Amino acid sequence: MRRAARPGRAAAVGLLLAARAVAGLEPISVGIAIAAASALTGYLSYTDLFCRFAECCLEEQRLNASALKLELEEKLFGQHLATEVILKALTGFKNNKNPKKPLTLSLHGWAGTGKNFVSQIVAENLHSKGLKSNFVHLFVSTLHFPHEQQIKLYQDQLQAWIRGNVSACASSVFIFDEMDKLHPGIIDAIKPFLDYYEQVDGVSFRKAIFIFLSNAGGDLITKIALDFWRAGRKREDIQLKDLEPVLSVGVFNNKHSGLWHSGLIDRNLIDYFIPFLPLEYRHVKMCVRAEMRARGSAIDEDVVTRVAEEMTFFPKSEKIYSDKGCKTVQSRLDFH
Ligand SMILES: Nc1ncnc2c1ncn2[C@@H]1O[C@H](COP(=O)(O)OP(=O)(O)OP(=O)(O)O)[C@@H](O)[C@H]1O
């Protein structure tokens, strides 16, 4: 809570200090003087002041849902379902003062369709430093847990890491990329934290957020999108209920899928399954323009078309979907 301003002698002293520093009368920096003035005048509490210089875990901070909505609508192309579900899931969770379990999101889809990109946007909307925040943790299966014979060690380290970080910041975010390549033993290690327990070893995990990314089901999602396209129906008309039965048979009840093995699904520990649709030629063009804008270059439609045309599209007969999504757009743009 911010303290109310307390004008008076302290304010006068603070302002005097700031004025002196600005005028170069004292060897203290303008920044320190302003901070001192703010603190003395009561505009900033000690916590506010501290959090200006060091990152703080603001557990009760509300989510700015309209900012997140705007960002997703502007930056994430061709993913109407993911946008809708992510918004709904995060708003509901962050508005709930007493969640019964941590929020668990499972993002599925073809390569380069925006799963990591969205995780980054979500992370930034929860903790302003995003992936660089001390409260956001990204794990990549093949990078962080590469050796099967070390599973026991990984399990212990991961549990200690999650426990330690959630005790330091209850609203910590954990992102697991390449979930379909993650050893079931590692998923077993995370499982106790995802459940409906009030506390595990004295720590409550109910305000944490776990995001799992995988390509599992990507081919099935693509098949549905293709069926819509072939039937002359709009991509935007695809609804969650069109995808759920297919994903449920192909991924969630498939005993060969890593996710099923781990028991995350049969114990209902995943709150939302979020499908990412394969990207079309027009979306690739949008990605190229976004990348040009990010580099501060003027949009050159000839280059946009050339980069998009260099990408490969499937199925062979119709060539509708980019096989790498927007993944190689950045590196291809370097050649133009
Ligand atoms: N739907 C999208 N809208 C806007 N940009 C996108 C989209 N999909 C991908 N991109 C761009 O392409 C880059 C690579 O995509 P991203 O890493 O998010 O793919 P992914 O789905 O996580 O792929 P993989 O399954 O291979 O890890 C992003 O950083 C972003 O710049």
pLDDT band per the 50, 70, 90 thresholds, residue 14: very low
Mean predicted confidence (pLDDT) in 32-61: 68
**Residues, the chain, total?**
336
114 lines ligand 1 (CB under 6 A): yes
Task: Tell me the residue type at 29.
Answer: S
Q: Angle 55-144-75 (CA atoms, 0-180°, nearest 5)?
A: 55
The DSSP secondary structure of 209-261, one letter per residue, reads EEEEEE-TTHHHHHHHHHHHHHTT--GGG--HHHHHHHHIIIIIT-TTSHHHH
Tell how far the Cα of 218 is from the centroid of ligand 1, in angstroms. Answer: 14
φ, ψ at 131 (rounded to 5°) = -65, -15
Provide the pLDDT confidence category of residue 17 given band limits of 50, 70 and 90: very low
> Greater confidence, 271 or 251?
271
**Protein residue closest via CA to atom 8 of ligand 1:** 114
* 79 close to ligand 1 (CB < 6 Angstrom): yes
Residue bearing the bigger pLDDT, 19 or 156: 156
111 a known binding residue? yes
Residue nearest to atom 27 of ligand 1 (CA): 111
Residue 216 CB-half CA count within 13 A: 27
89 marked as part of a ligand binding site: no
Nearest protein CA to atom 24 of ligand 1, as residue: 111
Q: What six digits make up the tokens of 251?
A: 């991924």
SS3 200: strand
Q: How far apart are CA 105 and CA 90, in angstroms?
A: 10
pLDDT score of 34: 55
d(CA 159, CA 258): 20
- Write down the residue that tokens 């943790």 correspond to: 137
Is 263 annotated in a binding site? The answer is no
pLDDT at 42: 57
* pLDDT surpasses 50 at 20: no
Q: Mean per-residue pLDDT for 147-173?
A: 94
* Cα(257)–Cα(179) distance, integer angstroms: 11
Q: 156: how many CB neighbours lie within 10 A of its CB? A: 11
Element spanning 125, H or E: helix 115-126
Report the percentage of the chain scoring pLDDT > 90: 62
CA–CA dist 80, 84 (Å, integer): 6
114 is in an annotated binding site: yes
pLDDT, position 195:
85
Q: Please state the atom number of ligand 1 nearest to the C-alpha of residue 78.
A: 1
Model-level ipTM above the cut of 0.90: yes
Amino acid at 179: M
Q: Tell me, what's the pLDDT at 30? A: 54
Q: In this predicted model, which residue has the larger pLDDT, 29 or 5?
A: 29
Q: Is 229 annotated as a binding residue?
A: no
Of 73, 113, 182, the one to substitute when testing ligand 1's pocket (max ligand atoms within 8 A of C-beta) is: 113
CA of 112 to the centre of ligand 1 (A): 4
Averaged confidence pLDDT in the chain: 85
pLDDT score of 33 = 60
Average pLDDT over residues 10-17: 37
Confidence of residue 258 (pLDDT cuts 50, 70, 90): low
Residue 267's pLDDT band (cuts 50, 70, 90)? confident
Q: Using CA positions, which residue lies closest to atom 13 of ligand 1?
A: 327
Rounded Cα gap, residues 301 and 334, in angstroms: 15
Domains (range + CATH), the chain: 9-53 (no CATH), 65-276 (3.40.50.300), 281-333 (no CATH)
The pLDDT confidence band at residue 22, using thresholds 50, 70 and 90, is very low
Long-range CB pairs of 237-246 (<8 Å, 24+ gap) are 238/80, 238/81, 238/277, 239/81, 240/81, 240/85, 240/275, 243/81, 243/275, 244/273, 246/220, 246/221
Q: Ligand 1 center to residue 132 CA distance, Å? A: 18
Give the per-residue pLDDT at 168: 94
Per-residue pLDDT, 21? 42
Lowest average pLDDT, out of 17-26, 68-77, 298-307, 319-328, goes to 17-26
- Give yes or no for residue 252 having a pLDDT over 90: no
- pLDDT higher for 210 or 51? 210
Question: What is the token pair recorded at 160?
Answer: 């200690």
Alpha-carbon distance of 193 to 98, in angstroms, equals 16
